[in-house]
Structure 1
Amino acid sequence: MRKNSRPPGGESDHTPAYREDAAPELSSWRREHTVIPDLTFPLNVFHIRDTDPDMLCIPPHWHEHLEWIVVLRGRFSMQIGTGFRELGEGGCAFVNTAELHSAFPLENGSELYALVFGEALLRNHALDHTETRYVRPLLEGRLGLASFYEAREAGEIRKRLLEIVAEYRGGEAGFELLVKSGLLGVLGLACRQSGTPNEDAAKNGRRAQSAVYPLLLHLSEHFRQPIGIAEAAAICCVTPTYFCHVFKRTTGKTLSAYINTLRVHEAEGLLRGGGRSVQEIARLVGYEDAGYFARVFKKLKGTSPSRYAESSFDPLQVNQRAAAAEQEMTFFE
C-alpha cells in the first residue's frame, strides 16, 4: 500500500482480529507477520474499534516490532508479557520486541490506536548517548520500561502518540522526521517516568522471563489442557523446585493461578460475544466443572460469568471488584 493512496493505518491489511464467534483454536497466541506498508520506514497504525468487524481487538500474538498502544475511548483488558491490566480512556501501553500481548474491549464503543514500528526508527549509525544509554539497552533487555501507563500519568506520552498518528496519517512533507522524533520523544518520556535505569535488575528480570518463555509459548496454545509442575519444568529444562521459584518471580503468580488468568481472559471475549451458555464456555476454556469456573471467574473479575455477559452490568462496579480481587492475590489452586 502506498502512503499517498489512502491514510496509513486507516484500512491497513493486518492479521484479522479475533472475532467473538471464532472457534477457540483461532484465538491462540501466535507470531504475527505485521504488515508494514513501507519497509524503508517501518511503521503502521491500526485503529481498533467495534465498528470494524476485522479490527475488533488485538488478538494474542507477538512480533519482532515494538508497539505503543493508546486507548481513545472505553476500556480494554490487556496482557503484555506476563502482566495483565485493564486500561481505560487515556491509558497507554508499551510492548517491547517479541513480547506476547493482546487487548480485548470491555465496553461498547471502545477504541484504541496501536502504533507498530521497527527498531530502525529509534536507532542511528552514530554511537551517541541515545544509542548506548537507551535504545540498545532497551532492545537488549537491559533497560526495563513500564508496560502500562494509567491515564493520570500518561498525559504527555498520550499527546505525543496522537501527534505521531496525525502526522503519519496526514503524510505531508517532512512527516517522517516528525514521526521519528516523536517516537524518540515518547521513549524519553517513558524512561524519565520509569526512573533511573537499573540495567542489572532489567537483565535479571529478562533472564528469569527467558527461562519460562518456552512455557509461556506452550501455554499460549495449550492453556485449556491440564499441566503439572513436573511437565512445566521439563518444558523449561529446569528442576521443578527452580521452576516454581522463577515462574512466581517472573509472573507474580503460581502456575495454576497464571493458567486461570489465561482461561478467564479467554472467557471474557466468549461471554461478550454471546450465543453460548456458561457451561459451554467453561468447557471451551478448559474447565470440566462449570461451578468451579464460575468461582474462579468471580474471584478474578469480581462478578459472575452470567452477570458479566449481561449488557446491563455496571462496568465501573466490575472494575472496582476486580481491582479488589487482584489486591487480595488469592487464587484457586
Structure 2
Amino acid sequence: MTYPKELKEYPQLEQKTYPFRLFINDRQEAKAGENILFIHWHEHFEIIVMQRGSAIFHVDSHPYEVEAGEVLFVPSGGLHVGYCLKDGPLRYTSIVFHGSLFEDWKQDPQHEQFVEPYVSNRYQFPVRPAEHMPSFAAQSALLQSIIEEDQVKGPAYQLAIKNYLHLLFTLLSRNFLPQQLVGSPKEHHSFNRERFKPLLTHVEEHFADKITIEQAAKTVNLNPYHFCKTFKKLTGRTFIDYVNLCRVNEAERLLLESNLSITEIAGRVGCDNPNYFTKLFKQYKGMTPSGVRKV
C-alpha cells in the first residue's frame, strides 16, 4: 500500500462515470501493531469487509475492533486509520465509491426519500451496523456479491455492483432512517477531526522537522495534557509514536526505492543518529534497515 503524502486522499477509481473501486489488502505475515491503513480521509464512502485476521480501525476518533466476517462503514469525510491486532495472515477488502454513483436515481421519489439522505451525508449509517441491526448478516451477503462481481467482471458487472450497493443502502435505510428522523440531526463532521486535519497534514509532509508536543498542542489551541489525550483517541497512537511511524514508513520506502545509504536515509527522515534510527526502525518494522534491503 502506498503511503499517502496528504491526509486527504483522492482514490483512483475505475472511470469518472463509474466512481467505484475495490481495494484488496492482503498480508501473509502481518505483525501486531502494524499500521495496515494509513490515516486519511476522502469524500467517498468506504465499506471495510474484514476477511481474515483481526484489526482495530479508528473512525472519527472511535476505535472498532473487527474479526473476520465483520463490516465497518466509513462515512464520506470520515478520518480513518487501521492497525493489525495479532501476528499472522490478514486480509480485508475496501469497497470505495462516490455518492454520484447513484446519480441515475435522482428523479426517483423513493430514492430521494430513503437513499439520498445518506448519499448527501445528511444522515450516516452506524460505523458498525451489525450492532444495531440483528438482520445485518443477511444484508452483508450483498457485499460478497459486489466483491465477486468486481473480481469476475462479467457482462454488465458495473450495473450489477451499482444495483447491489443501492439495494444495500435501501435496506439499511429501512432500519435506521425512522429512528434518525425522530432524533435531532447529528453533526456530520467531527469537530476534533476538522480541528486536527491541518496538524496531521503538516506531520505527514514535514515529519523530518523537530516538533514538540507543546508546539503541536499550540496549533490546535489545547494544553499538552488534553492534546495528548485527544490525539490518541483520534489516531490510536501517541503524537510521538505517530511521528516516528511516519518517519520509518518513509524510510522503508526510500530503502526499497532508492540507492541512498542508511545514514543518508536516517538524516532525511529526521534521525541524526544512525544507531538510534536503526533501533527505531527495528522497533516498528521488526527488522533492521539493512535487513529490508536484503529481502
TM-score by length of 2: 0.64
* Counterpart in the other structure of 2:54: 75
Q: Of the candidates 183, 195, 213, which is equivalent to residue 226 of structure 1?
A: 213
Please state how far the C-alpha of 1:167 moved relative to its aligned partner: 0.8
Go from structure 1 to structure 2 and tell me whether the alpha carbon gap of 1:149 and 1:75 turns closer, same or farther (over 3 Å shift).
Answer: farther
Please state how far the C-alpha of 1:36 moved relative to its aligned partner: 1.1
Please state how far the C-alpha of 1:225 moved relative to its aligned partner: 4.3
CA RMSD, aligned part only? 3.9
1:56-205 correspondence runs (5 A): 57-107=36-86, 108-123=88-103, 124-131=105-112, 133-149=113-129, 154-194=136-176, 196-199=178-181, 201=183, 203-205=185-187
Please state how far the C-alpha of 1:59 moved relative to its aligned partner: 1.5
Go from structure 1 to structure 2 and tell me whether the alpha carbon gap of 1:82 and 1:194 turns closer, same or farther (over 3 Å shift).
Answer: farther
* Counterpart in the other structure of 1:3: none
Go from structure 1 to structure 2 and tell me whether the alpha carbon gap of 1:200 and 1:30 turns closer, same or farther (over 3 Å shift).
Answer: farther
Aligned-partner residue type, residue 177 of structure 1: L
Secondary structure of the structure 2 residue equivalent to 1:144? coil
Go from structure 1 to structure 2 and tell me whether the alpha carbon gap of 1:113 and 1:157 turns closer, same or farther (over 3 Å shift).
Answer: farther
**2:106 & 2:7 partners in 1: Cα distance?**
32
**Contact 2:123–2:186 (CA under 8 A) maintained in structure 1:** no
Q: Of the candidates 224, 230, 236, which is equivalent to residue 258 of structure 1?
A: 230
More strand by share: 2
**1:59 & 1:43 partners in 2: Cα distance?**
20
Report Cα offsets for 1:184-242 as digits up to 9, x if no partner: 122133334436242585634226x3x44431313434687425877535xxxxxx8xx
**1:80 & 1:190 partners in 2: Cα distance?**
19
Structure 2: runs of 5 or more not aligned: 204-210, 249-268, 270-282, 287-295
Structure 1: runs of 5 or more not aligned: 1-15, 19-25, 234-239, 245-253, 274-283, 285-305, 311-333
* Counterpart in the other structure of 1:34: 11
**1:200 & 1:220 partners in 2: Cα distance?**
36
TM-score by length of 1: 0.58
Identity of aligned residues (%): 18
**2:200 & 2:85 partners in 1: Cα distance?**
21
Please state how far the C-alpha of 1:263 moved relative to its aligned partner: 5.6
2:194 matches 1:214: yes
**1:141 & 1:50 partners in 2: Cα distance?**
33
Q: Which has the higher contact order (CA 8 A, sep 6+)?
A: 2
**Contact 1:143–1:198 (CA under 8 A) maintained in structure 2:** yes
Count the aligned residue pairs. Answer: 233
**2:180 & 2:173 partners in 1: Cα distance?**
11
Aligned-partner residue type, residue 138 of structure 1: Y
**2:29 & 2:149 partners in 1: Cα distance?**
23
Please state how far the C-alpha of 1:147 moved relative to its aligned partner: 0.9
**Contact 2:76–2:121 (CA under 8 A) maintained in structure 1:** no
